[in-house]
Protein backbone atom coordinates (compact mmCIF):
# COMPACT_ATOMS: atom_id res chain seq x y z
CA UNK A 1 0.00 0.00 0.00
CA UNK A 2 1.20 3.48 -0.81
CA UNK A 3 2.20 5.85 1.97
CA UNK A 4 2.67 9.58 2.19
CA UNK A 5 6.22 10.92 2.08
CA UNK A 6 8.30 14.02 1.54
CA UNK A 7 6.51 17.28 0.92
CA UNK A 8 2.80 16.52 1.10
CA UNK A 9 1.09 19.74 0.08
CA UNK A 10 -2.15 20.56 1.85
CA UNK A 11 -3.92 22.31 -0.99
CA UNK A 12 -6.04 25.43 -0.75
CA UNK A 13 -9.43 25.46 -2.47
CA UNK A 14 -9.93 28.43 -4.80
CA UNK A 15 -13.43 29.90 -4.95
CA UNK A 16 -14.39 32.33 -7.70
CA UNK A 17 -16.17 35.68 -7.35
CA UNK A 18 -19.52 33.83 -7.40
CA UNK A 19 -18.47 31.59 -4.47
CA UNK A 20 -18.14 28.55 -6.73
CA UNK A 21 -15.27 26.06 -6.74
CA UNK A 22 -12.86 27.30 -9.42
CA UNK A 23 -11.95 24.13 -11.31
CA UNK A 24 -9.58 25.90 -13.70
CA UNK A 25 -7.65 27.36 -10.78
CA UNK A 26 -7.45 23.93 -9.11
CA UNK A 27 -5.98 22.48 -12.28
CA UNK A 28 -3.44 25.29 -12.47
CA UNK A 29 -2.48 24.88 -8.80
CA UNK A 30 -2.07 21.13 -9.20
CA UNK A 31 0.22 21.63 -12.19
CA UNK A 32 2.18 24.33 -10.38
CA UNK A 33 2.84 22.09 -7.38
CA UNK A 34 3.88 19.12 -9.48
CA UNK A 35 6.22 21.34 -11.50
CA UNK A 36 7.88 22.49 -8.27
CA UNK A 37 8.65 18.94 -7.23
CA UNK A 38 6.28 18.25 -4.34
CA UNK A 39 5.92 14.56 -3.65
CA UNK A 40 2.26 14.21 -2.66
CA UNK A 41 -0.96 16.22 -2.83
CA UNK A 42 -3.52 16.42 -0.04
CA UNK A 43 -6.69 18.33 -1.05
CA UNK A 44 -9.87 19.08 0.93
CA UNK A 45 -8.21 19.20 4.32
CA UNK A 46 -8.03 21.99 6.86
CA UNK A 47 -6.07 24.20 4.45
CA UNK A 48 -8.73 23.45 1.83
CA UNK A 49 -11.56 24.86 4.00
CA UNK A 50 -13.12 21.40 4.18
CA UNK A 51 -15.97 22.14 6.58
CA UNK A 52 -17.11 25.09 4.47
CA UNK A 53 -17.85 22.89 1.45
CA UNK A 54 -20.70 20.57 0.58
CA UNK A 55 -19.87 16.90 -0.05
CA UNK A 56 -20.57 17.49 -3.75
CA UNK A 57 -18.00 20.29 -3.84
CA UNK A 58 -15.44 18.20 -2.01
CA UNK A 59 -15.98 15.37 -4.50
CA UNK A 60 -15.48 17.83 -7.35
CA UNK A 61 -12.19 19.08 -5.92
CA UNK A 62 -10.95 15.55 -5.27
CA UNK A 63 -11.80 14.33 -8.75
CA UNK A 64 -10.22 17.40 -10.35
CA UNK A 65 -6.92 16.95 -8.50
CA UNK A 66 -6.71 13.21 -9.14
CA UNK A 67 -7.47 13.64 -12.83
CA UNK A 68 -4.98 16.47 -13.30
CA UNK A 69 -2.22 14.73 -11.35
CA UNK A 70 -2.69 11.70 -13.60
CA UNK A 71 -0.46 9.46 -11.51
CA UNK A 72 2.53 11.80 -11.56
CA UNK A 73 2.45 12.26 -7.78
CA UNK A 74 0.76 10.48 -4.92
CA UNK A 75 -2.68 11.92 -4.09
CA UNK A 76 -4.43 11.30 -0.78
CA UNK A 77 -7.85 12.87 -0.31
CA UNK A 78 -8.82 14.18 3.07
CA UNK A 79 -12.34 12.86 3.73
CA UNK A 80 -13.06 13.61 7.39
CA UNK A 81 -16.42 15.30 7.88
CA UNK A 82 -18.83 16.22 10.66
CA UNK A 83 -20.80 13.01 10.25
CA UNK A 84 -19.58 9.46 9.73
CA UNK A 85 -22.07 9.04 6.89
CA UNK A 86 -20.48 11.87 4.93
CA UNK A 87 -16.98 10.69 5.80
CA UNK A 88 -17.70 7.23 4.43
CA UNK A 89 -19.29 8.69 1.32
CA UNK A 90 -16.18 10.77 0.62
CA UNK A 91 -13.87 7.84 1.42
CA UNK A 92 -15.62 5.58 -1.05
CA UNK A 93 -15.63 8.31 -3.70
CA UNK A 94 -11.87 8.76 -3.25
CA UNK A 95 -11.34 5.09 -3.97
CA UNK A 96 -13.68 5.21 -6.97
CA UNK A 97 -11.88 8.11 -8.67
CA UNK A 98 -8.46 6.49 -8.32
CA UNK A 99 -6.93 8.36 -5.37
CA UNK A 100 -3.97 6.63 -3.73
CA UNK A 101 -5.47 6.79 -0.24
CA UNK A 102 -7.30 8.95 2.27
CA UNK A 103 -6.75 10.94 5.43
CA UNK A 104 -9.45 11.16 8.09
CA UNK A 105 -9.54 13.81 10.79
CA UNK A 106 -10.85 12.92 14.21
CA UNK A 107 -14.47 13.68 15.04
CA UNK A 108 -14.76 17.38 15.85
CA UNK A 109 -16.44 19.66 18.38
CA UNK A 110 -18.16 16.95 20.44
CA UNK A 111 -15.97 15.15 22.96
CA UNK A 112 -15.15 11.58 21.89
CA UNK A 113 -13.70 9.03 24.31
CA UNK A 114 -11.04 6.49 23.37
CA UNK A 115 -13.45 3.65 22.65
CA UNK A 116 -15.64 5.83 20.44
CA UNK A 117 -12.53 7.06 18.60
CA UNK A 118 -11.42 3.51 17.94
CA UNK A 119 -14.82 2.40 16.65
CA UNK A 120 -15.12 5.49 14.44
CA UNK A 121 -11.90 4.77 12.60
CA UNK A 122 -12.55 1.05 12.34
CA UNK A 123 -15.90 1.71 10.70
CA UNK A 124 -14.43 4.22 8.24
CA UNK A 125 -11.44 2.01 7.39
CA UNK A 126 -13.71 -0.99 6.83
CA UNK A 127 -15.88 1.02 4.44
CA UNK A 128 -13.12 0.90 1.81
CA UNK A 129 -11.14 -2.09 0.48
CA UNK A 130 -8.58 -3.64 2.81
CA UNK A 131 -5.75 -2.61 0.49
CA UNK A 132 -6.78 1.07 0.31
CA UNK A 133 -4.52 3.06 2.67
CA UNK A 134 -5.92 5.24 5.43
CA UNK A 135 -4.14 7.85 7.56
CA UNK A 136 -5.47 8.96 10.89
CA UNK A 137 -5.37 12.74 11.33
CA UNK A 138 -5.05 14.40 14.73
CA UNK A 139 -5.27 18.18 15.08
CA UNK A 140 -6.50 18.58 18.65
CA UNK A 141 -6.10 22.36 18.74
CA UNK A 142 -8.85 22.61 16.11
CA UNK A 143 -10.89 19.42 16.40
CA UNK A 144 -11.09 19.32 20.22
CA UNK A 145 -10.27 15.59 20.14
CA UNK A 146 -6.94 13.77 20.07
CA UNK A 147 -5.74 10.25 19.24
CA UNK A 148 -3.69 8.63 21.95
CA UNK A 149 -0.86 6.37 20.71
CA UNK A 150 -2.40 3.31 22.35
CA UNK A 151 -5.70 3.99 20.56
CA UNK A 152 -3.89 4.38 17.24
CA UNK A 153 -2.23 1.01 17.89
CA UNK A 154 -5.59 -0.64 18.55
CA UNK A 155 -7.00 0.78 15.32
CA UNK A 156 -3.95 -0.38 13.35
CA UNK A 157 -4.28 -3.86 14.87
CA UNK A 158 -7.88 -4.13 13.70
CA UNK A 159 -7.47 -2.45 10.29
CA UNK A 160 -4.37 -3.30 8.28
CA UNK A 161 -5.13 -0.51 5.83
CA UNK A 162 -4.60 2.09 8.57
CA UNK A 163 -0.96 2.68 7.71
CA UNK A 164 -0.11 5.96 9.41
CA UNK A 165 -1.04 9.21 11.08
CA UNK A 166 -0.85 12.89 10.29
CA UNK A 167 -0.14 14.72 13.55
CA UNK A 168 -0.59 18.49 13.53
CA UNK A 169 0.39 19.51 17.04
CA UNK A 170 3.93 20.55 17.97
CA UNK A 171 4.63 17.74 20.45
CA UNK A 172 7.69 15.80 19.44
CA UNK A 173 7.36 13.41 22.38
CA UNK A 174 3.97 12.36 21.03
CA UNK A 175 5.55 11.97 17.60
CA UNK A 176 8.08 9.61 19.18
CA UNK A 177 5.26 7.51 20.59
CA UNK A 178 3.50 7.30 17.23
CA UNK A 179 6.74 6.17 15.62
CA UNK A 180 6.77 3.12 17.90
CA UNK A 181 3.40 1.85 16.63
CA UNK A 182 3.59 -1.50 14.81
CA UNK A 183 7.18 -1.88 16.01
CA UNK A 184 8.17 1.17 13.99
CA UNK A 185 6.34 0.19 10.81
CA UNK A 186 3.77 3.00 11.06
CA UNK A 187 4.01 6.06 8.88
CA UNK A 188 4.09 9.39 10.74
CA UNK A 189 3.85 12.72 8.94
CA UNK A 190 3.79 16.03 10.78
CA UNK A 191 1.55 19.00 10.13
CA UNK A 192 3.93 21.39 11.88
CA UNK A 193 6.01 22.27 8.85
CA UNK A 194 8.46 24.38 10.88
CA UNK A 195 9.59 21.06 12.37
CA UNK A 196 9.93 19.27 9.04
CA UNK A 197 13.66 18.57 9.16
CA UNK A 198 13.75 17.60 12.87
CA UNK A 199 10.82 15.28 12.23
CA UNK A 200 12.65 13.61 9.35
CA UNK A 201 15.66 13.09 11.62
CA UNK A 202 13.38 11.38 14.16
CA UNK A 203 12.12 8.95 11.52
CA UNK A 204 9.00 10.65 10.19
CA UNK A 205 8.18 10.25 6.51
CA UNK A 206 7.34 13.85 5.69
CA UNK A 207 5.24 16.91 6.37
CA UNK A 208 1.69 17.77 5.34
CA UNK A 209 2.43 21.41 4.72
CA UNK A 210 -0.07 24.17 3.99
CA UNK A 211 2.72 26.72 3.55
CA UNK A 212 4.11 24.61 0.70
CA UNK A 213 0.89 25.33 -1.23
CA UNK A 214 2.03 28.83 -2.28
CA UNK A 215 5.74 28.36 -1.45
CA UNK A 216 6.86 24.78 -2.11
CA UNK A 217 10.46 25.22 -3.21
CA UNK A 218 12.35 25.37 0.08
CA UNK A 219 10.34 22.52 1.58
CA UNK A 220 11.22 20.37 -1.42
CA UNK A 221 14.87 21.29 -0.93
CA UNK A 222 14.72 20.28 2.74
CA UNK A 223 13.56 16.79 1.80
CA UNK A 224 15.83 16.36 -1.20
CA UNK A 225 18.85 17.51 0.84
CA UNK A 226 17.92 15.16 3.68
CA UNK A 227 17.67 12.22 1.27
CA UNK A 228 21.05 13.19 -0.21
CA UNK A 229 22.58 13.20 3.31
CA UNK A 230 23.41 16.90 2.93
CA UNK A 231 22.71 17.93 6.52
CA UNK A 232 24.06 21.47 6.14
CA UNK A 233 21.87 22.19 3.13
CA UNK A 234 18.81 20.67 4.80
CA UNK A 235 19.27 22.89 7.86
CA UNK A 236 19.73 25.97 5.70
CA UNK A 237 16.60 25.25 3.69
CA UNK A 238 14.58 24.53 6.84
CA UNK A 239 15.61 27.93 8.23
CA UNK A 240 14.28 29.65 5.11
CA UNK A 241 11.13 27.53 5.09
CA UNK A 242 10.52 28.43 8.73
CA UNK A 243 10.93 32.12 7.98
CA UNK A 244 8.25 31.77 5.29
CA UNK A 245 6.03 29.93 7.78
CA UNK A 246 6.29 32.87 10.15
CA UNK A 247 5.27 35.34 7.45
CA UNK A 248 2.35 33.19 6.30
CA UNK A 249 1.33 32.36 9.89
CA UNK A 250 1.49 28.60 9.25
CA UNK A 251 -2.12 28.34 8.14
CA UNK A 252 -3.76 30.58 10.74
CA UNK A 253 -5.26 32.53 7.80
CA UNK A 254 -5.51 30.76 4.44
CA UNK A 255 -6.09 34.13 2.75
CA UNK A 256 -2.33 34.64 3.15
CA UNK A 257 -1.72 31.49 1.09
CA UNK A 258 -4.20 32.46 -1.61
CA UNK A 259 -2.83 35.99 -1.91
CA UNK A 260 0.73 34.68 -2.17
CA UNK A 261 -0.40 32.41 -5.00
CA UNK A 262 -1.81 35.49 -6.71
CA UNK A 263 1.59 37.17 -6.35
CA UNK A 264 3.08 34.17 -8.15
CA UNK A 265 0.66 34.29 -11.06
CA UNK A 266 -1.47 31.35 -9.86
CA UNK A 267 -5.08 32.27 -9.13
CA UNK A 268 -5.51 31.77 -5.40
CA UNK A 269 -9.19 32.56 -5.43
CA UNK A 270 -11.48 33.94 -2.75
CA UNK A 271 -12.06 32.75 0.79
CA UNK A 272 -15.41 31.28 1.72
CA UNK A 273 -17.45 33.01 4.43
CA UNK A 274 -17.20 33.38 7.33
CA UNK A 275 -13.49 33.55 6.32
CA UNK A 276 -12.58 36.73 4.45
CA UNK A 277 -10.05 37.91 1.88
CA UNK A 278 -7.16 40.19 2.76
CA UNK A 279 -7.67 43.92 2.39
CA UNK A 280 -5.55 45.83 -0.11
CA UNK A 281 -3.48 47.21 2.76
CA UNK A 282 -2.91 43.71 4.12
CA UNK A 283 -1.91 42.50 0.67
CA UNK A 284 0.61 45.32 0.35
CA UNK A 285 2.15 44.55 3.73
CA UNK A 286 2.31 40.85 2.93
CA UNK A 287 4.03 41.51 -0.39
CA UNK A 288 6.66 43.70 1.29
CA UNK A 289 7.57 40.79 3.58
CA UNK A 290 7.30 37.83 1.21
CA UNK A 291 8.68 39.33 -2.02
CA UNK A 292 12.30 38.35 -1.40
CA UNK A 293 11.24 34.69 -1.33
CA UNK A 294 9.11 34.80 -4.49
72-89 burial by CB neighbour count: b if 16+ within 10 A, else e?
ebbbbbbbbbeebeebbb
Rg, C-alpha atoms of the chain: 18
Tens of pLDDT, residue by residue over 244-277, are 999 999 999 999 999 999 999 999 999 999 999 9
Tens of pLDDT, residue by residue over 210-224, are 999 999 999 999 999
Q: What pLDDT was estimated at residue 111?
A: 96
Q: What pLDDT was estimated at residue 14?
A: 98
Tens of pLDDT, residue by residue over 6-54, are 999 999 999 999 999 999 999 999 999 999 999 999 999 999 999 999 9
How large is the average pLDDT for residues 195-202? 97
Indicate the Cα dihedral angle 235, 239, 244, 249, nearest 10°: 110
Tens of pLDDT, residue by residue over 282-294, are 999 999 999 999 9
List, in order of start, the domains of the chain with CATH numbers.
6-293 (3.20.20.70)
Tens of pLDDT, residue by residue over 62-107, are 999 999 999 999 999 999 999 999 999 999 999 999 999 999 999 9
Query: Which pLDDT band, with edges at 50, 70 and 90, does 135 fall under?
Result: very high
Q: Count CB-CB contacts under 10 A for residue 214.
A: 28
How large is the average pLDDT for residues 126-142? 97
Question: What CA–CA distance (Å, rounded) separates 154 from 105?
Answer: 17
Q: Are 124 and 134 in contact (CB under 8 A)?
A: yes
Tens of pLDDT, residue by residue over 119-128, are 999 999 999 9
Q: What pLDDT was estimated at residue 30?
A: 98
Q: Rounded to two decimals, what is the model's pTM?
A: 0.97
Q: What pLDDT was estimated at residue 84?
A: 98
**Cα angle vertex 53, ends 62, 103, to 5°?**
45
| C-alpha separations of 151 from 103, 119, 157, 203, 267 in Å | 17, 10, 10, 21, 41
Amino acid sequence: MKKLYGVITAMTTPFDENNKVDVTAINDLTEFLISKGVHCLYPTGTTGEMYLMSPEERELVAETVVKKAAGRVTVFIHVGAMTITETIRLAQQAKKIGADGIGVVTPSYFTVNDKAMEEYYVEVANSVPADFPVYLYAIPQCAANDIMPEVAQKIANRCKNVVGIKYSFADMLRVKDYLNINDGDFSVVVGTDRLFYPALCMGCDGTVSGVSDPMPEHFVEVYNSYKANDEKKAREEQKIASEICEILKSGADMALFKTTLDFRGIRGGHMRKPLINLTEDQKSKLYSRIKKYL
